[in-house]
Amino acid sequence: MAGSILGNRVLRKEDPKFLTTGGVYVDDLREPLLEGAAHVTYVRSTVAHARITGIDTSDALALPGVLAIYTAADLGLEPVPSEFNPGVTKGLLAIDKVRFVGEPIAAVVTETREQGEDAAEQVIIDYETLPPVVDMEDALTNTSLLYEAAGSNVVFDSTFVGRPGVTGPAFFEGVEVVSGPHRIVNQRVAPCPLEVRGSAAAWSEGRLHQWLSSQGVQDAKNAIVAANGVEADQVLVIAPDVGGGFGAKIKCDPEEALLGVIAKKVGRPVRWRETRSESMMVLGHGRAQVQTLTVGGTRDGKVTHYQLHVIQDAGYFVEYGAILAPFMTLPMASAVYDIPNIECQSTSVVTNTALTTAYRGAGRPEATAAAERAMDLFAAEIGMDPAEVRRKNLIPKFLEPKTTMVGQTYDVGDYEGALDKALATAGYADLRAEQARRRAAGDVKQLGIGVSTYVEITGGVGTGEHARIEVLDDGRAIVYTGTSGHGQGHLTAWSMLAHEQTGIPMDKIDVVWGNTDLVPEGSGTSGSRSLQQGGNAVFLAAGDLVDKARAIAARLLEADEADVVLDKDTASFHVSGTPSIAKTWGDLAVAAKADPDLPEGLAHAAYYAVSGATFPFGAHVAVVEVDTETGQVRHLRHIACDDAGTVLNPMLLEGQIHGGVAQGTAQALMEEVRYDSDGNPVTSNLADYAFISAAELPSVEVVHMETPTFINALGAKGIGESGTIGSTPAVQSAVIDAVSHLGVRHIDMPCTAQRVWQAIAAAQQ
């Protein structure tokens, strides 16, 4: 009998389609229901903060092809309060006031997309401008309020975790060595999915059909139902192929939620697709924290005290972005370190900028970035190798739950093991020797080595996931999953899990997601939850289906159920010892249809509940070369040891690590969303916003390590965000390390050539 398929490098089933005919995205849809669809273009605010005193649509309505223009008043929209702060309210279109450049004010409906762009420019908005609040630190005290009813631009209460009773400077009394306070910027970045947002909507026989580029159609359906004021069974939401999400497509945005309302008003189906500039300005941004950290300890390298204060920029409204710091960054503040005294505080503010959202990593990269800068700064203060400082402070290996000083309970961890593997693969001692040689020689191009160790939280979204598997008359199987695949390899992974249980060949297993009729329940894909929740649900459903099939086979074979075995090599059931007389999955599916006790045929649904989150961990080593005359950084090597528990498919794991390292490196070296003092975005396209390519990246050296978790049956943890979390601080650290001998102690991200050159010049002065 063949061995298990799990843990093997299985080629992705998704790839042939994408490499030949290509995917079918929202903009490619040619559904019969969308025939004759009109196009929606949104009129957007051109100022960051103002009261709307008038909207004149007369010139635009007179243009060719314009069918209608709708404002909030036309659609009867009312302000809706934020679930996190009732004093913060907004409508799906701007009502009375605009709060960032790009906020939708009106919807223009035209025959063609080009006509919509022309007409939107002719809608005249009269504004009474208000002082913009752009800087998150300024927002703390600025008297220009985005929401008067909230009473302040501070919209989410500060949170303290850690050592009680002692705060502020007194926290470090009696500590031998103190470094800080240090102000660290974890800059705002744009998700930049290759497919921008898009949606299409059509009414048919009193039912709304809506297609959406989404990471989770079930949650999106809730927003669409609410916006249209209908019952849930009157809405079908479908996600075709999705060209990237990175957390920014978790929720249903106003432009999407309104399409059903507009389609009903105009009496025909409608389509909407944003431009790249709209996507850069409006699609939720990531990170956006100012961190103030102080670290203290002993001369021999033991960190005893760590203080972290975070200001989180929520953008113009209070959604996911406002709670990232208190619910993700602070609970992970202890990171992989055994620090006995920790104080953490966060303050979330609104500013006249685009929303921040749960961008890849969602609060955990920020926690790791702060902790790793703290370790580097402390190492510099006491003159010790930064890798050795980390080793001295790591939580020892544990295979039972471990609760940190800030109250977070990790499942299992071997942080020193990951660090050792990464350093050994990098040849750390040899790298330090080469660095010393270049420094002694006064080379223009200096070598930098950055090390990061991290732990993150995954599978914390939802408490479980739904799956269903059905076998057809021809022996093929269909897996229905509540997760959403948009590049991660769900088709391959879920087929592997179903095959492992049933023996049905992988090429005879199809996977269905992203359709609220076919999969009415599910939590989508976010927070690296898919395998540990959705995958386990598939594994459970397939295993239970085997038991159901065995009972049918026993009746057909006129044998005791206990004597019937599944031969996975032939995907058939037979009585133990007599393989020549067997029943295939197709035989059993046909028999099940004739059984009145099995109205759904040969199918089984399961819900896999999880008891808690899991905590992947790892260590990254980045090697860079910095030209000290120009500040130019070249990323030479990157070693990534990411422990995600039991590995289902090393090829899928490596793909996720490669993508994560690319995004993490991009933040460290080049990406930054910027606004001018008036709140105008100055990085609203890919000419002004640096977007990383393969030319700027080395080949990632992946070091495998597996420490299974006890939290779920597969022993798996999440991997989709780990590469992003470990790489960013390693690359930033490497850049600073390359020029530290010149007196540079810190460079905020992105470590562009200009910033590096300026840091060198400042240190020399």
**pLDDT of 110 over the 60 cut:** yes
Look up residue 157 and give its DSSP letter. E
Q: Is residue 17 part of a domain?
A: no
Does residue 622 share a domain with residue 601?
no
Strand 303-313 with 464-471, pairing = unpaired
**pLDDT of 164 over the 70 cut:** no
Q: Provide the pLDDT for residue 408.
A: 96
As a three-state string, the secondary structure of 96-114 is CEECCCCCEEEEEEECCHH
CATH number at residue 40: 3.90.1170.50
Q: Are 611 and 459 in contact (CB under 8 A)?
A: no
71-90: average pLDDT: 96
Does residue 628 share a domain with residue 580?
no
115-139: average pLDDT: 98
Q: Is residue 689 part of a domain?
A: yes
Average pLDDT, rounded, for the chain: 97
Which of 242, 273, 304 is where one domain is finished? 273
Does residue 512 share a domain with residue 440?
no
Q: Are 728 and 369 in contact (CB under 8 A)?
A: yes
Write the CA distances from 638 to 441, 653, 660, 703, 726, integer angstroms: 25, 16, 12, 11, 11
Does residue 209 share a domain with residue 115?
yes
Q: Is residue 578 part of a domain?
A: yes
379-385: average pLDDT: 98
Does residue 540 share a domain with residue 429?
no
Give the pLDDT band of residue 445 (cuts 50, 70, 90): very high
Does residue 583 share a domain with residue 665?
no
Residue identified by tokens 């939107």 is 120
Q: Are 469 and 479 in contact (CB under 8 A)?
A: yes
Does residue 484 share a domain with residue 628?
no
Question: Which structural domain range is residue 562 located in?
Answer: 460-609
Which of 569, 591, 609 is where one domain is finished? 609
Into how many domains does the chain fold?
3
Length of the chain equals 765
Among 452, 395, 446, 449, which residue's Cα sits nearest to residue 419?
452
Tens-place pLDDT, residues 519-578: 999 999 999 999 999 999 999 999 999 999 999 999 999 999 999 999 999 999 999 999
**pLDDT of 50 over the 80 cut:** yes
Q: Is residue 48 part of a domain?
A: yes
CATH number at residue 475: 3.30.365.10
Q: Is residue 170 part of a domain?
A: no
At 152, is the secondary structure helix, strand, or coil?
A: coil
Tens-place pLDDT, residues 643-698: 999 999 999 999 999 999 999 999 999 999 999 999 999 999 999 999 899 999 99
Give the pLDDT band of residue 170 (cuts 50, 70, 90): confident
Q: Provide the pLDDT for residue 274.
A: 97
**pLDDT of 173 over the 60 cut:** yes
Q: Provide the pLDDT for residue 169.
A: 77
Q: Provide the pLDDT for residue 168.
A: 76
Residue 156, amino acid: F
Query: What b/e readout covers 479-513, taking b as 16+ CB neighbours within 10 angstroms?
Result: bbbbbbbbbbbbbbbbbbbbbbbbbbebebbbbeb
**pLDDT of 1 over the 70 cut:** no
Q: Is residue 183 part of a domain?
A: no
Q: CB under 8 Å to 745, separation ≥6 — which residues?
A: 377, 380, 736
Does residue 503 share a domain with residue 543?
yes
**pLDDT of 2 over the 90 cut:** no
Residue identified by tokens 């916006």 is 227
Percentage of the chain beyond pLDDT 90 is 96
Which of 609, 642, 663 is where one domain is finished? 609
Does residue 631 share a domain with residue 668?
yes
**pLDDT of 377 over the 70 cut:** yes
Does residue 106 share a domain with residue 51?
yes
Does residue 600 share a domain with residue 514?
yes
Q: Is residue 177 part of a domain?
A: no
**pLDDT of 320 over the 60 cut:** yes
Strand 154-162 with 341-349, pairing = antiparallel
108-135: average pLDDT: 98
Percentage of the chain beyond pLDDT 70 is 100
**pLDDT of 141 over the 80 cut:** yes
Q: CB under 8 Å to 124, separation ≥6 — which residues?
A: 54, 55, 56, 57, 59
Does residue 225 share a domain with residue 213?
yes
Q: Is residue 238 part of a domain?
A: yes
Q: Provide the pLDDT for residue 460.
A: 87
